[in-house]
Structure 1
């Protein structure tokens, strides 16, 4: 991997960013496949889509990894929380579980 200080112009730098984006997307595809498999395995183990202790563990782990590598842990947490919520919704679809909906609130009656 070429050190970032060796990029001499924006065209070259953008090319590297585009290539890296492709690698990130490929890793996200792999992660999504793992989530799909989790949705298949969870019923066999009696597990729900959302396991809050696991969500907390994943967030803690990625924050530590980010901080150790000099990346803003808050940014990483935001990205991961979004990804985790998407993953849970995908698992719920596979498991046939409806996401938690807020209760219907009756319209004002004018009284």
Structure 2
């Protein structure tokens, strides 16, 4: 993975855009890794008698994301909105294996 140049060291929009594109790629790589954990969850949940959607766990994840985003300087409302989309997508992915609740 190429090292990112700090934003303040980018002197042109082209330089900045290259860094944003690299960062976008890294974000996708992390999401792909996350999806592999979701796939593993769909293998483990049947043995533990768990459904794809566990509402308490969803809220636990959302609250943890809100806290982390606030600590790191991101708008918690935006983080929650993004994560709820990600969680819904993840649950749908699990349901393809487990069936719906």
TM-score normalised by the shorter chain: which range applies?
over 0.9
Greater helix content: 2
CA distance in 2, matches of 1:47, 1:98: 12
Map Cα deviations across residues 55-106 of structure 1 (whole Å, 9 max, x no partner): 00000001111000111011110110000001101111101x146xxxxxxx
Query: Which consecutive unaligned segments of at least 5 residues does structure 1 have?
Result: 100-111
Partner of 1:106: none
Divergent runs of 4+, >4 A: none
TM-score (norm 1): 0.84
Matched, 1:43 2:53: no
Query: Cα RMSD between the aligned structures?
Result: 1.1
CA distance in 1, matches of 2:84, 2:13: 32
Most deviating of 62-71 and 1-10: 1-10
1:13-32 equivalent positions in 2, closer than 5 A: 13-32=16-35
Report the Cα offset of residue 23 of structure 1. 0.4
**Number of residue pairs aligned between Structure 1 and Structure 2:** 98
Report which of the two structures shows the higher radius of gyration computed on alpha carbons: 1
Query: Which consecutive unaligned segments of at least 5 residues does structure 2 have?
Result: none
